[in-house]
Every structure is written in C-alpha cells, then in structure tokens.
DNA sequence: AACTCTGTACAGTTTTTTCTGTACGAACTT
DNA sequence: AAGTTCGTACAGAAAAAACTGTACAGAGTT
C-alpha cells in the first residue's frame, strides 16, 4: 500500500483531468444530436488506451450493456466512433473516429440534407395544393391568400436551395480550401 | 349555408395545404433547437395574414397561453420571430422573421460559438491538470498516458480553431460571397 | 448437434421535458 | 386610487425520452 500510494493518487488525478473534458463534451454534444450520457460514453472511449468492448464501456460507466449498444450505434451513425477488428477477439471493438472534421461534416450533412429534402418536398406539395385551390375558388379573398402563400413558399424554396449549396460545400470538401484545417499549435 | 358552402370548403382546403408544410416544419425544426410543437407555432405565425397576439396563437393552436409565451420566447431567441408594434394595440404582436438566412446564421453561430468556447476552456484546463501530473508523477506508465492525452487534446484544440473559423465565415457574411443567396425561381 | 458467448429487440421503469392552470406584478384605463 | 388587461413565474400533471433486465437470435466452439 505504501509503495503504490502515489500511483493510486496519480491515477485518480488522471481520471479527474480526463473527466473535466468528458463532462464538457457531454454538455455540448447535443449539437451533434447526441444525448449527454452518450456523450460521456464518447468521452470514455476517446480517452481509452485501446479500443473498447461493450462490456468494458458498461463496466467503466456503470451503465447497462443495452445502453452501451444503443449509444454506440448513435455514435457510429454520427461517424463519431468506428469499429475495429482484432484477430482472435470475438467481441466488437470500438474506438473514436480520429478525424473530427469528418465527424462534424457527416453530422452536418446528413441531418441538414435530410431535413432540407423533406421540407422541399412539402413545399412542392403545398404549392401544388394551393395552385389547384387558386384556380378553382371563386372567392377573391382566398385567391389573395393563396397568392401570398405561394410567394412566401417560393422564397422558402430559394432559401433551401442555398442551404443545399452550403451542404455541398462541406460534402465536396471545398470548405477546406476556404477554411483550411488547422495545424496543431502548442499553447 | 348554401351561399358560403363553397367558401367553407375552400377555407378548409387552404388550411389543409398550409398544414402540409407546417407539419413538416414541426418535424425538422429540432435542427434549430426548437421542439416540434413550437415548430407548429412558428408555422401558424408564418401563414398568418397579420402579426399575431399570444391569445390568437393560443386560440388557433388550442394550446395554453403560457405555452405560447414560452414558445415565442424560444423562437425569438433563435431569431425566428420578431415583435411588431402597432399603434393602439396593447398586446404584443409577433411575425416570423422574413430573412431565413439570418435565422439560420443566428442559430448556427450562437449555438456553436458557445459550445466551442466552453470546450476550448475545458481543454485548456484539462491540459494544465495533465501537465502538472506529468511533472510530478514518478510512474512512467502514467507519464505515457499523459503525453498521449495531451497530444490528442492539442489535436482537438486545432479542430475547434477550425470550427471557430467556420463560424466566423457565417458571422461576417463572407459565406454569401462563396455561396450566394438564391434568386426566387418559379417551379 | 449441444453448448457458449455476444449484441440487440422489447417491455416495463425511471428520469426528463413539455404543457397547463393559478397567481401575481407591471402597465394602462377610468 | 381602484379596476382592467397583459405577459410570465411557478408548481403540478401529462407526455416523451432514456435506461434497465430479460429474453432470444445468430455466430463460434466443442
């Protein structure tokens, strides 16, 4: 006990330092559509010396294996962790994606692309319903409303076109010509 | 009843068309950090002919005035609605922000800026804790872990620097030089 | 083929978020 | 000053999300 008293204290310090960052990730990871506790899972895997199994995560976080399974899947879909194979190891192994730029892009692209497409579809359908109404109605007041709505929806469409272009900027990687990746600088 | 039977049917059609778009907004507005039902509130105000009061929203959505109050505040903070003054009207009036580019930028900038700053602070603190540990510990194994963690945190710092630059791109409006706003095109 | 091990589907519980009704302060009217 | 009207703070109810334990299918081993 005397011989490794310092070691235990140091390991504790290490954990504390790591936890400082992990808890901050947990608080902010909602931007990636990830819940805080899955954010802690990410942080745990991030600081692990080697790829982790679901059982190790469960053990380390004191949470059920089921939660680890669903949590890891969420992280995987956000391109925030990746699976690793090791010869002779039957369990699934996961480590954090090292290219954070890629994780960011994946999340940003898939979420916004998906939303944009659906909204554009909705706009087109709404417009078509309004067009029909505008032609069949005999009430001038309604005609006016229809015209106004069609106008605003066309504006919305233009906006989504812009969003789409922004997404493409990230998807194509051209964003990195405009905003270059940073070199590591020691502070 | 015979004379305005068509009118009622047409008004119903108008509502249906509008609702097609509103329900899609409700489903996707979580990207702006807004809940679905507040998304419906947004949609309702969006299609309103004139700025709405809390009571009108409450009436129109069949929800409590309290919810309208908190919902509108959320939309206001996301720059998605704005307050309007009308002479002689005592109630607060709201309409949707017409510049969707601005709404997008506001949400994107404030949320990411805030998260980035906090994460960078956490990284710096974690690094300083690790530096101290690295100097005081006598265990080589721990020294190794510390070095590895410091390295990865420095990489993370670089990533946040990049995110920060991306945010600035939107904040300064330079994004519009690279991805121009779209003209309205009828489809 | 029987047995073991691993990941996940599913139902039920716990926790968190959203929503409502009451109550009250501030601003305006009489 | 007394009386309205309006928006929102707050506590409790309702709804949604997160988490767990059990159970089971599929792959690997013996």
Q: Mind giving me the DSSP string for A14-60?
A: HHHHHHHHHHHHHHHGGGGT--HHHHHHHHHHHH-SS-B-HHHHHHH
Q: What is the mean pLDDT of residues B76-93?
A: 95
The answer on A28 and A11 residing in a single domain is yes
Answer yes or no: do B114 and B94 share one domain: no
Which among A50, A80, A98 is the end of a domain? A98
Q: Which residues contact A84 (CB under 8 A, 6 or more apart)?
A: A51, A93, A94, A95
A3 pLDDT tier (thresholds 50, 70, 90)? very low
Comparing CB atoms, the residue among A127, A133, A152 nearest residue B10 is A133
Whole-Å CA distances, B122 to A21, A48, A99, B57, B128: 5, 18, 20, 42, 10
Hey, of B4, B7, B9, B17, which one would you mutate to test binding to chain A, going by the most A CBs within 10 A of its CB? B17
DSSP bridge partners of A82: A95
Clarify whether residues B28 and B55 are in a common domain.
yes
Q: Name the domain boundary from A33, A67, A98.
A: A98
Specify whether B120 is located in the same domain as B92.
Answer: no
Q: Which of A126, A135, A145 should we substitute to test contact with B (largest number of B Cβ atoms within 10 Å)?
A: A126
> Which residue in A has a C-alpha nearest to residue B132's C-alpha?
A13
User: Does B65 lie in the same domain as B11?
Assistant: yes
Runs of H (alpha helix) within chain B: 5-28, 36-47, 54-61, 65-77, 100-136, 140-171, 175-178
Proximity of residue A64 CB to strand D below 7 A? yes
What is the least distance, in Å, from the CA of A41 to any CA of chain B? 17
Query: Running DSSP on this structure, what letter comes out for residue B2?
Result: -
What average pLDDT does this structure show over A98-106?
A: 95
Q: If you search the block for the tokens 């990049």, which residue do you land on?
A: B162
Confidence of residue A1 (pLDDT cuts 50, 70, 90): very low
Q: Does residue A187 belong to any structural domain of this protein?
A: no
Joined together, the tokens standing for residue B147 give 């070095």
Q: How many CA atoms lie within 13 A of B15 on its CB side?
A: 8
Q: Which of residues 56-85 of A touch B (CB under 8 A)?
A: none
- What pLDDT digit, counting tens, does each position of B107-133 carry? 999 999 999 999 999 999 999 999 999
| Rounded percentage of chain B residues whose pLDDT exceeds 90 | 90
| CATH number where B19 lies | 1.10.10.10
Are A88 and A26 in a shared domain? yes
The verdict on B58 and B112 lying in the same domain is no
Whether B76 is covered by a domain: the verdict is yes
Q: Is the pLDDT of residue A122 over 60?
A: yes
The phi, psi pair for A18, rounded to 5°, reads -60, -40
CA angle A111, B183, A148 (to 5 degrees): 90
Dihedral angle, C-alpha A18, A23, A28, A34, nearest 10 °: 100
Residue A187 has pLDDT above 60, yes or no: no
Termini Cα distance of chain A? 37
| Residues B88 and B130 grouped into a single domain | no
Q: Is A138 exposed, middle or buried (CB count within 10 Å of its CB: 0-12, 13-18, 19+)?
A: exposed
Residues B15, B90: one domain? Answer: yes
Burial (CB count <10 Å: 0-12, 13-18, 19+), residue B92? middle
B61 and B115 both lie in a single domain: no
Q: How far apart are CA B100 and CA B24, in angstroms?
A: 16
In a domain, B187, yes or no: no
Classify B43 as helix, strand or coil. helix
In a domain, B184, yes or no: no
**Pure H helices in chain A:** 5-28, 36-47, 54-61, 65-77, 100-136, 140-171, 175-178
What is the reported pLDDT for A6?
81
Contacts of A162 in chain B (CB under 8 A): 101, 179-182
pLDDT band for position B85 (cuts 50, 70, 90): very high
B111 and B174 share one domain: yes
- Nearest 10 degrees: Cα torsion B102, B104, B108, B114: 50
How many Cα atoms occupy the beta-carbon half-sphere of B56 within 13 Å?
13
Q: Is residue A57 domain-resident?
A: yes
Listed by number, the residues of chain A in 139-168 with a beta carbon closer than 8 Å to a beta carbon of chain B are: 139, 142, 145-146, 148-149, 152-159, 161-163, 165-166
Q: What is the mean pLDDT of residues B63-80?
A: 97
The total of structural domains in chain B comes to: 2
Predicted confidence (pLDDT) at residue A5 exceeds the cutoff of 60: no
Is residue B183 assigned to a domain?
Answer: no
My answer on whether B93 and B9 are in the same domain is yes
pLDDT tens, residue by residue, B136-145: 999 999 999 9
A183, part of any domain: no
Residue where a domain terminates, one of B98, B126, B157:
B98
SS3 of residue A183 by DSSP: coil
A6 with B138: Cβ contact below 8 A: yes
Give me the pLDDT at residue B7, please: 82
B73 touches strand D (CB under 7 A): yes
Half-sphere exposure of B149 (CA within 13 A, CB side): 32
In a domain, B185, yes or no: no
Domain that holds residue A60: 5-98
């Amino acid at each position: 006990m005397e011989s490794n008293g310092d070691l235990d204290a140091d390991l504790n310090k290490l954990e504390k330092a790591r936890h400082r960052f992990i808890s901050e990730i947990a608080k902010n990871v909602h931007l990636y559509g990830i819940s805080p506790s899955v954010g802690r899972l990410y942080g745990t895997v991030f600081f692990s010396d080697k790829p982790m199994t679901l059982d190790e995560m469960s053990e380390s976080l004191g949470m059920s294996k089921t939660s680890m399974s669903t949590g890891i899947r969420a992280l995987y879909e956000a391109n925030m962790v990746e699976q690793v194979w090791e010869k002779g190891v039957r369990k699934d192994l996961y480590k954090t994606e090292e290219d954070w730029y890629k994780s960011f892009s994946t999340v940003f692209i898939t979420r916004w692309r998906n939303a944009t497409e659906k909204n554009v579809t909705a706009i087109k359908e709404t417009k078509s319903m309004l067009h029909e109404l505008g032609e069949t109605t005999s009430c001038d007041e309604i005609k006016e409303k229809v015209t106004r709505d069609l106008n605003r929806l066309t504006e919305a469409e233009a906006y989504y076109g812009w969003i789409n272009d922004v997404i493409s900027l990230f998807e194509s990687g051209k964003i990195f010509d405009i905003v270059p990746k940073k070199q590591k600088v020691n502070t």
